[in-house]
Amino acid sequence: MLPKIETTIHGYFFDLENNPINGLQIELYDCSDNLVDSDTTNSSGYFSITNDAKEYQLKIVIEGYRIPLTNQEGESCFVFFGDIDIGTLNINPTINCTAFNNSCYNENWRLFSCYFDSSVPSCVCYYEICEFGCTEGLETCNAGQQETIKIDVDNINDNYAPVSGAKIYLDNQFIGVTDSYGKKDVFAFPGFRAIKVFCPDNSFCSEKGIYFNSTTWEYFDCDCGTQKGNIQVNVDNINGYPVANVYVFLDEDYSKTVGLTNPFGFTYIKNLSYGNHRIDIRYKVTNPDYQGIYQITQNINLNQEEQTINFTSNTSSSNIIAGLGITGNGDFSGNIVPLVVVAMAATDIISIGLSIEDYCNCINDANNEAFGGGFQTCINSIESCVGDTRNCINTIRQEAGKTAQECWFEELMLVGDAVSPLIPVGLVGH
């Protein structure tokens, strides 16, 4: 005769305040729902049932209702063999489904009107999905107040340097690009959100799904290319004359400038990752008929070591971002675009604060022979203007290049004006 194989099921039941429950009825059923055995917890909350090893259901009796113990999949029938220690279970010894009212499930489902359903048997609740998030205990969903997702993008191929110009998508909608620090603040309502990041050259970086209900940081390490180039930004007025002291911003980062146009109307942005970048220029006009701060934007796909982008300053009402005297103008000290129009000729170079020779020496020292002789080439280009100011300036831009802005000027001579239809007759160089 084969020996009888038994199983012993035992454990403890405590209430939600971690006190032992005395007198709780524990019942053992077969999987056809027939009662097999039972026990009652003692003053320590302990019970123990021994019977043949086979498949069983374990149920607890609360206020006359028999509630089966289930796993996360909702299964209640299990094979019991040998010593089965269920440990310590904390339960509510009374059926009070209202305790689940105004609680959160799946993070953004708010439960309400909860009741006990004897046919299940279990607490059953109505729910609403909270688009902007759920907070435990609140009788309503979270209000639609936007919070901030702070995105940080680094390049693993460039010693984790920040990626400027990385494209950010939220819930498949393009939001903008990262600034020169590789960062982008995204404002959104709390809840589940999907974030995608692309490198500046449009290659895919990464994506993730998040749930947030307050300001949060999200970090992305991208496998972006390491090719870098430089962009020369030229700014002229409507007559083709250069405009100095124009602020230049990169990739929607207005916390700092990446350049300020020099007396020849250009500046140089170095070491940018290949890909799409946004360039903004800002300038102030004090002419009473057009006064205000203006902004012009262009996008450029950097795919060469050296590229140039050209702006024409104007006073179109569509470009104005602020009137003078309005809060926020403190970023712009002095007049970026002058009221008095000055044309450039060889004799005017001295008014910059450096003589022709000093200026060309500066270029020569900064870049040696890069311009085919540096010093002499610079002098030749200036002295050969012969009244052709525009061509002279273009020649200087081409030959001076990035080193021109490395020369410091004691004072700036501004050439041209965004609002002047004509260069005044009689000035040299007209």
Domains in the chain: boundaries: 6-90, 147-222, 228-406
Reply yes or no on whether the pLDDT at 157 is more than 90. Answer: no
Same fold, 6-90 and 147-222: yes
Rounded to whole angstroms, the Cα distance separating 258 from 279 reads 10
- The reported pLDDT for the residue numbered 20 is 94
Candidate CATH numbers 3.60.15.10, 2.60.40.10, 3.40.640.10, 2.70.210.12; the one for domain 6-90: 2.60.40.10
Rounded to whole angstroms, the Cα distance separating 36 from 33 reads 9
Chain-centre distance for alpha carbon 251: 12
Reply yes or no on whether the pLDDT at 368 is more than 60. Answer: no
Interaxial angle between packed helices 389-400 and 375-383, expressed in degrees from 0 to 180 and rounded to the nearest 10: 170
Rounded to whole angstroms, the Cα distance separating 64 from 118 reads 10
Answer yes or no: are the C-beta atoms of 59 and 89 closer than 8 Å: no
Q: Mind listing the pLDDT tens digit for each residue in 191-201? A: 778 999 999 88
330-334 CB contacts, 8 Å cutoff, 24+ apart: 331/247, 332/247, 332/282, 332/284, 332/293, 334/245
Give CATH superfamily name and number for 228-406.
PapC, C-terminal domain (2.60.40.2070)
Of the two residues 407 and 305, the one the predictor is more confident about is 305
- The reported pLDDT for the residue numbered 346 is 30
Instruction: Report, as an integer, the average pLDDT of 177-191.
Output: 86
Rounded to whole angstroms, the Cα distance separating 219 from 208 reads 10
Rounded to whole angstroms, the Cα distance separating 17 from 91 reads 9
Reply yes or no on whether the pLDDT at 265 is more than 50. Answer: yes
DSSP H or E run through 381: helix 375-383
- Largest CA-CA distance found in the chain, in angstroms, rounded: 126
Say which range, 212-216, 285-289, 390-394, 406-410, has the weakest mean pLDDT.
406-410
Reply yes or no on whether the pLDDT at 70 is more than 80. Answer: yes
Instruction: Report, as an integer, the average pLDDT of 54-75.
Output: 86
The half-sphere exposure of 110 on its side-chain side, counting CA atoms within 13 A, is: 18
Take residue 126 and report the two structure tokens written for it: 């109505």
Q: Mind listing the pLDDT tens digit for each residue in 214-235? A: 889 999 999 887 788 889 999 8
Sort strands 25-29 and 35-40 into parallel, antiparallel or unpaired: antiparallel
Instruction: Report, as an integer, the average pLDDT of 72-77.
Output: 84
- Give the list of residues 6+ apart from residue 342 with CB closer than 8 angstroms, or none: 348, 413, 414, 415, 416, 427
At residue 396 the predicted structure's pLDDT band, cuts being 50, 70 and 90, is low
- The reported pLDDT for the residue numbered 55 is 92
Sort strands 109-117 and 122-129 into parallel, antiparallel or unpaired: antiparallel
Answer yes or no: are the C-beta atoms of 283 and 321 closer than 8 Å: no
Of the two residues 9 and 419, the one the predictor is more confident about is 9
Q: Mind listing the pLDDT tens digit for each residue in 301-344? A: 888 888 999 999 888 877 887 654 433 333 433 333 332 223 33
**Backbone φ/ψ region at 108: left (φ over 0), alpha (ψ -120 to 50), beta:** alpha
- Give the list of residues 6+ apart from residue 14 with CB closer than 8 angstroms, or none: 20, 21, 45, 88, 89, 90, 91
Q: Mind listing the pLDDT tens digit for each residue in 3-62? A: 678 999 999 999 988 999 999 999 999 999 999 999 999 999 999 999 999 999 999 998
User: Chain-wide mean pLDDT for the chain?
Assistant: 76
Closest-CA residue to 241 (of 156, 322, 309, 313): 313
Rounded to whole angstroms, the Cα distance separating 93 from 348 reads 94
- The reported pLDDT for the residue numbered 12 is 96
Reply yes or no on whether the pLDDT at 403 is more than 60. Answer: no
SS (H, E, C) 315-360: CCHHHEEECCCCCCHHHCCCCCECCCCCCCCHHHHHHHCCCHHHHH
Domain 147-222 in this protein, CATH class: mainly beta
Instruction: Report, as an integer, the average pLDDT of 291-305.
Output: 88
- The reported pLDDT for the residue numbered 75 is 86
Chain-centre distance for alpha carbon 321: 24
Closest-CA residue to 337 (of 241, 232, 233, 231): 241
Residue 89 has a CB neighbour count (10 Å cut-off) of 13
At residue 179 the predicted structure's pLDDT band, cuts being 50, 70 and 90, is confident
Burial class (CB in 10 A: 0-12, 13-18, 19+), 108: buried
Say which range, 73-87, 166-180, 315-329, has the weakest mean pLDDT.
315-329
Rounded to whole angstroms, the Cα distance separating 184 from 111 reads 35
DSSP string of 400-415, one letter each residue: HGGGGGGS--SSPPP-
- The reported pLDDT for the residue numbered 321 is 79
Rounded to whole angstroms, the Cα distance separating 131 from 115 reads 25
- The reported pLDDT for the residue numbered 257 is 81
Reduce the DSSP state of residue 366 to 3 states and report it.
helix
Rounded to whole angstroms, the Cα distance separating 309 from 313 reads 13
- The reported pLDDT for the residue numbered 384 is 56
- The reported pLDDT for the residue numbered 129 is 86
